Amino acid sequence: MVYVRKIILPSDRAELKTIELETRTCFNTFYPFKIFPDKGLSEVSFHDVTIFYGGNGSGKSTLINVTARKVDADRYSEFNDAPLFDKYVGMCSVEYARRPEKSCVLTSDDVFDYVLNARTVNENIDDRRNELFEEYVATKREVIGNPEIMHLKGLDDYERWSKTMEILSPRRSQSSFVRKRVARDVDLHSNGETAMRYFLDRIDEDALYFLDEPENSLSIELQIQLAEYIAATARATRSQFVIATHSPILLSMKNAKIYNLDSRPASICNWTELPNVRKYFEFFVEHKDEF
């Protein structure tokens, strides 16, 4: 599904005119100006899956952030933009095939926060277990003193009532109640598996998704799973993906449109033509006798 057909970036002349005006201000950076004219990149057209490839400083994350801001995509973590970022975005234009009901940006910072939160839950599990033991005993005592607590008083009261009935169930011992409640909060996966689950949780409906280096924290096996999941989602649902990556696994997704931002000028190419991928290939060919 294609929501955004293309984004048209400011021309070299328009950028220079703006920069001339801004030299009168106290700004010491013109970011994100002066990045894409040097690459000969005036516009980007999108497919179901579009990938920006390049090394650090190539502009791939900048393109993600500019396009995401232009379409007003939701973000789950703060974005440290520059003073002239919104002015640059305002000079861009977007051509829609259809406006998405939902669009969001998923970054490596989001994944890190998700993993960190899961780890914090695990580290505090003893405290949580003790709280539940105390809650179980207190609820039992409360029911003895006030039997009406067992009555459901309305939908707003459902959570309390449901927990009370679970505690009072003859099939629910104190240990089984605590074990079940803890299991709802505890993450038993590795960091990589937790990161993968983050994407499975977020990519769950028809939407326009911007992914900035999603391979961070993922093993090769999980990168393969993520690539398969993205490709299947794009194929089977009304979802569009714009991805910044240098992972050969994600770059290998069939029918993905790839922009090589390391080339001069920036070009559309096949994943097997990318220098980073070629280096991987040559390395394994060189060591093939060792396998």
pLDDT tens readout for residues 168-182: 666 556 556 655 555
The answer to the question of residue 285 being in a domain is yes
The answer to the question of residue 124 being in a domain is no
Q: Tell me what pLDDT residue 28 has.
A: 63
Q: Tell me what pLDDT residue 199 has.
A: 86
Q: Tell me what pLDDT residue 186 has.
A: 46
Strand partners, 257: 50
User: DSSP readout, 268-280?
Assistant: EE-GGGSHHHHHH
In tens, the pLDDT along 99-148 reads 999 999 998 777 777 666 655 555 555 565 667 667 767 776 776 666 66
The answer to the question of residue 173 being in a domain is no
pTM of the model: 0.74
The answer to the question of residue 134 being in a domain is no
The answer to the question of residue 148 being in a domain is no
The rounded distance, in Å, linking the Cα atoms of 33 and 204 is: 35
Tell me how many domains the chain contains.
1
Q: What is the CATH number of the domain that holds 212?
A: 3.40.50
The answer to the question of residue 125 being in a domain is no
The answer to the question of residue 205 being in a domain is yes
Q: Tell me what pLDDT residue 118 has.
A: 56
Q: Using 50 as the pLDDT threshold, list the residues of the chain that sit under it.
A: 186-188
The tokens of 252 are what?
């290998």
The answer to the question of residue 91 being in a domain is yes
Tokens 């900035």 appear where?
Answer: 212
- Domain interval for residue 77: 4-113+190-290
Burial environment of residue 256 by CB neighbours within 10 A (0 to 12, 13 to 18, 19 or more): buried
Q: Tell me what pLDDT residue 179 has.
A: 57
Q: Tell me what pLDDT residue 111 has.
A: 74
For residues 150-172, one letter each, b for 16 or more C-beta atoms within 10 angstroms of the residue's C-beta and e for the rest, the string is eeeeeeeeeeebeebebbeeeee
Query: What does the angle CA 183 – CA 168 – CA 125 come to, to the nearest 5 degrees?
Result: 25
